[in-house]
A and B are shown apart, each in its own frame.
Chain A
Amino acid sequence: DGGITQSPKYLFRKEGQNVTLSCEQNLNHDAMYWYRQDPGQGLRLIYYSQIVNDFQKGDIAEGYSVSREKKESFPLTVTSAQKNPTAFYLCASTGSMENEQFFGPGTRLTVL
């Protein structure tokens, strides 16, 4: 079955540590996205990538970094520079000229 996987589902880290969230898709989509969702809030765009080896900052990129070395993979690193990293992180992808964004199950990150 085609889809997007994110791991792990729950992640706990100590303050000051960098952490990398995994996102893999087998939908053959070119575009991939990372969103952050806080309780009672909408989805805010962190980074997006339209093609391998290229990515762009979204609306709240500070304290985050990404890479896109393979079409299938778009990992997100939450660095110690992110002031309030506890949140639900969602990865998404979309095919060229398609209307729908497909979302992964999300990773809930808690920084202690």
Chain B
Amino acid sequence: GQSLEQPSEVTAVEGAIVQINCTYQTSGFYGLSWYQQHDGGAPTFLSYNALDGLEETGRFSSFLSRSDSYGYLLLQELQMKDSASYFCAVRDRWGGGGSYIPTFGRGTSLIVHP
């Protein structure tokens, strides 16, 4: 079956750097995405990796190693507003019509302290 593992909770202080890991076991793999969700809100897209390596977008970076079935999200210069849940999602199925079907991890709750 499909499984994605990520830590349930991570805490850090403002200004620090934090890394959220995601390991996956899926029957197919087309790419790894990361989403941010504040309490009661909608998930919003952060990044996507289809190939090995690091993708950087401002304070956020995402890394993928396909050979290790592993990726991580790196958040730098943490701010209080970064307190949220972070989900990794693997595109593991082709739905046809040009769109993939993702499987989501259970999410990591990031708590940023002053």
Q: Which residues of A contact B (CB under 8 A)?
A: 30-31, 33, 35, 40-45, 48, 50-51, 56, 58, 90, 94, 96-106
**Is B58 an interface residue when CB atoms closer than 8 A count as contact?**
no
CB distance from A5 to the nearest CB of B (A): 11
- Also in contact, A42 and B104, with CB within 8 A (given A90-B43, A103-B44, A106-B42): yes
Q: A50 with B97: in contact, given A41-B107, A101-B102, A103-B43 (CB under 8 Å)?
A: yes
Q: Which residue of A lies closest to B105 (CB)?
A: A42
Q: How far is the CB of B104 from chain A (nearest CB, A)?
A: 4
B-side interface residues, number (CB < 8 Å) = 26
Q: B residues within 8 A CB of A94?
A: 99
Q: How far is the CA of A48 from the CA of B98 in the complex (A)?
A: 13
- Most A CB contacts (10 A, CB to CB) among B33, B41, B98 go to B98
Per-position contact with A for B23-44: 1 when CB-CB < 8 Å, else 0? 0000000010101000011111
Q: Which residues of B contact A (CB under 8 A)?
A: 4, 8, 31, 33, 35, 40-45, 48, 87, 89, 95-99, 101-107
CB-contact partner of B101 in A48, A97, A104, A105, under 8 A:
A48
A-B contact pairs, 16 of them (CB 8 A): A30-B99, A40-B8, A42-B4, A42-B104, A42-B107, A43-B43, A43-B87, A45-B101, A50-B95, A98-B99, A99-B45, A101-B35, A101-B45, A102-B45, A103-B42, A105-B41
Q: Which residues of A contact B45 (CB under 8 A)?
A: 99-102
* Contact partners of A105 in chain B: CB under 8 A: 41-42
Residues of A within 8 A of B31 (CB): 99
